[in-house]
Structure 1
Amino acid sequence: MNNALAAAQATGGQDPAEKYAAARKLADVIERANVEEFISAIKGLPNQTDLSAIFNFLGLWRGSLLHIAAAANKDDILRLLLDHVSDDLIAAQNEWGDTPLHMAAKAGGSRAATILIRQARDLANVAGNIRFLRMKNKHGNTALHEAVLNGHFDMVRLLLRKDLEPVYWKNLAGKSPLHLALDTDNSAIHEVLFSRSLEPWRIEGMPPVHGAVVRDNYGTYLNLLVRTIYVCEK
């Protein structure tokens, strides 16, 4: 893979329009193809193409090629890109404030998220890795918020295992992941969130009980909240 990329890499500047067109072409390939076809598409770019500029380009409608690979659950392409992009692109935010980890969380790509988190850990100290996990988009959502909103159990479990702190944080709508969970009927996500030893007084924004009492079958949800308090005090 590295040899193929090196062969396609050219030096010199890149016209902005050409850079966008090349990035858009590779983005389309990512969404419909595998890593071999992606490499083939790279090799088919014009000789003057500056691959470094294309890989680090953040001006696509969903961000960079890294964002698109994470959103498409293309793990092999994601790994390939991570070997060839600048270190700061892993935490780069698109127009909506989403990082590649947000995109993976929305898509339920727990393997992609694991790759990104491992890369962030290798590139930064522990504090830097924690900051990566806690970044918010323009809706005030962390990756955990997005995973809950989109009903991805494996992703929620992974993110909770890596960092519990965002479970308490509110988004711009005033809702924590705990509250968002009670807006859904996903019992698996309820279980993984409310079986944790939590500190209810730390929950920001609307209390989760608010989300419970407005639902027709609020008894089930109130039982979850009571159990959370019990687990915490046990």
Structure 2
Amino acid sequence: MDSRLYTAARLGKVEVLDQLGDEQCFLLQTTPQKNTALHLAAKFGHGGFVKEMLKRCDSLLKQTNSKGDTALHVASRMGHVEIVNILLNHDHQHGSSSWRGDMEEGQNEENEMEEVLIRMKNKENNTALHEAVRHGNTQVVEVLLRRDDDLACIVNSASESPLYLAAENGSLEILKTILAIAAVIVEGGPDGRTPLHAAAIRGHFELVVELLNLKECPELIRRADAFKSTALHYASSAGNLNIVQAILQTDPSVTYLLDEDGLSPLHYAAGSGHTPIVNKILEYCPDAAELVDKSGQNSLHAAIENEEVEVVEALLKRSELDELINEPDNQKDTPLHLAVNKEKYAIVKLLLETSKVDLRAMNKDGRTALDVIELKEERSFQQVLMWKALKRAGAARGQRRHGREMRQQPTSRPRGADKSYKAMANTLTVVAALIATVTYSAVFMMPGGNKDREGATTSINDVAFKTFVISDTIAMCTSMIVALVLVWAVPDVPGMLVNAVGWALWLMWISLGGMIISFVTAVYIDVSIKSRWLAVVVCIMGCSVPFLVTPIVTVSARQTPHAKRNFQYDQIQQSPLP
């Protein structure tokens, strides 16, 4: 395109056209993207320039660029209402004014749509209305629909109707405009999804409420996509409590609809860790907990499979769900079997705390939960904790175990000493040696300053000084015990390293506690003389360390990545939505 024409179109300088002349070949020049001067003027909103161009070269009206966009597509995308009206009025006055009448006379509708500017599609089969909706231009949407309300029925290459795009983008005003003018719900969406699906996926609560208030709601709310998933499935998976509640208030029976894998909305909520939604669904439909998928697993199984401790705890607290505790799946695995397989001690502990768990239940291989943990090849700390918890609870072995299947208890035969125990033993040995060194050195730097032989015991009767001496001694002795025990533990001796690490952990806690107490008392003795408040603050800070460790470790453990059954729909992940 000539630089003068490009500049004139971009800046809207009509007078430049008079200087350039009316030659058609000149006005039809395009940019590398096949944009004409009319495309550029429509993009930058120069109405006067658009009118002048159409007077000089009428054929530019329906000329498309490399993306198949007409100037109307561009103006609708940019939200220039004035230019949209100019383009539509010009098309109406020059050859397309009788298109509705022609269609009534029996002409082919598809051919007629290609001739009418307002219905022209780009390479993605988007009309100007699609572009206006996608970019949130409400005024343009209203103008286009009042010219042709049947535009609301056209879908693009992605099977998206304008109403679906409005729901997906969260454009409440546009959605209301389409429903008010077109008065039709086109359920077009990828994979058979409806506008209600789109609003639920995106979490647009106000749009969901608007759609639920429609007279078509009873059918819309139960409509499933290509994967047999309803809007409630999506909302439950995404964790949108408000949307879930709105759908349940409208039609709670949708809770019982299952997708192609036999999963209910409750399965998705439980597997995704959305405890409030689990409680809300059970509030409306308590018997939804009895629903099982194709593998015979209920919501409790789903929560355990995905290691959602909070959901498991919430389900176990409901007395009406007691029958779920021992319900087997198609493999005859009970929730306790699954928890042991997942090596999730926190869940095993929750199950064992209930008096109704069946410790003798066997799966289809004839194995109890105790068998499952004992038959594992490797020995981890979690496994040992679970084995001990099961033994304390009185768990029994299955009746079919014999021959090579027999295994010794995890604490008596570590199968070559699991690597995790070796690493833990090495770490504990190093830490114990450091604590012993620090506490040993503290004896030669006792609080109160250096004294002569007669004055060295001036503080001997102080409670703080006595506390310092005792705690420092405890810290040093326990750390030395830890180091010696771990050094002497032989990995190849069955159970020796496992038991040594178990004892070392408890002794290490005592050693660390003694070191903290000796530190704060030493500071208190030296600082309290001149600033008692500062000494008290230091004591409080030091003594708070043990109380901060537990929640940090707990949170870290819950956030540890683990293999999780994917309860987020594949179709959501594959969609072009960000």
TM range (shorter): 0.7 to 0.9
In structure 1, distance between residues paired with 2:203 and 2:128:
29
Q: Which has the larger radius of gyration?
A: 2
In structure 2, distance between residues paired with 1:53 and 1:192:
42
Report how many aligned residue pairs link the two structures.
Answer: 200
The aligned counterpart of 2:50 is 78
State how 1:33-182 maps to structure 2 within 5 Å: 33-36=12-15, 38-39=16-17, 43=19, 51-58=23-30, 60-85=32-57, 87-125=58-96, 126-127=98-99, 131-182=116-167
In structure 1, distance between residues paired with 2:90 and 2:76:
16
- Letter of the 1:124 partner, please give it: G
List per-residue Cα deviations over 1:47-81 (Å, max 9, x = no partner): xx873212123454252111111111100000100
Report the CA distance shift for 1:215/1:115 in structure 2 as closer, same or farther (over 3 A): same
- Offset of 1:228 from its aligned partner? 4.2
- Is contact 2:9-2:38 (8 Å) kept? no
2:177 counterpart SS class:
helix
In structure 1, distance between residues paired with 2:212 and 2:117:
32
- Offset of 1:110 from its aligned partner? 0.9
In structure 2, distance between residues paired with 1:29 and 1:143:
25
- Letter of the 1:54 partner, please give it: F
Report the CA distance shift for 1:183/1:166 in structure 2 as closer, same or farther (over 3 A): same
In structure 1, distance between residues paired with 2:181 and 2:129:
15
1:211 aligns with 2:183: no
1:195 counterpart SS class:
helix
The aligned counterpart of 1:4 is none
List per-residue Cα deviations over 1:140-159 (Å, max 9, x = no partner): 11000000111111111100
In structure 2, distance between residues paired with 1:119 and 1:50:
19
- Offset of 1:33 from its aligned partner? 4.4
- Offset of 1:28 from its aligned partner? 2.4
The aligned counterpart of 1:17 is none
1:226 aligns with 2:212: yes
- Is contact 1:141-1:171 (8 Å) kept? yes
- Is contact 1:198-1:229 (8 Å) kept? no
- Percent identity over the alignment? 28
In structure 2, distance between residues paired with 1:31 and 1:107:
14
Report the CA distance shift for 1:214/1:156 in structure 2 as closer, same or farther (over 3 A): same
- Is contact 2:138-2:174 (8 Å) kept? yes
- Is contact 1:56-1:64 (8 Å) kept? yes
1:26 aligns with 2:5: yes
2:56 counterpart SS class:
coil
- Offset of 1:82 from its aligned partner? 0.5
- Letter of the 1:88 partner, please give it: S
In structure 1, distance between residues paired with 2:121 and 2:23:
29
Greater relative CO, 1 or 2 (CA 8 Å, sep 6+):
1
The aligned counterpart of 1:12 is none
In structure 2, distance between residues paired with 1:195 and 1:208:
16
In structure 2, distance between residues paired with 1:138 and 1:109:
22
1:114 counterpart SS class:
helix
Name the Cα RMSD after superposition.
2.4
User: What TM-score, normalized by structure 1, do the two folds share?
Assistant: 0.76
- Letter of the 1:199 partner, please give it: V
- Is contact 2:145-2:182 (8 Å) kept? no
In structure 2, distance between residues paired with 1:71 and 1:181:
22
- Is contact 1:194-1:227 (8 Å) kept? no
- Offset of 1:208 from its aligned partner? 1.0
- Is contact 2:28-2:60 (8 Å) kept? yes
- Offset of 1:107 from its aligned partner? 1.1
In structure 1, distance between residues paired with 2:120 and 2:215:
27
Gaps of at least 5 residues in structure 2 are: 100-111, 218-578
In structure 2, distance between residues paired with 1:60 and 1:81:
20
List per-residue Cα deviations over 1:12-71 (Å, max 9, x = no partner): xxxxxxxx3x2x4312232134334x34xx52x5xxx87321212345425211111111
User: What TM-score, normalized by structure 2, do the two folds share?
Assistant: 0.32
- Offset of 1:93 from its aligned partner? 1.2
- Letter of the 1:204 partner, please give it: G
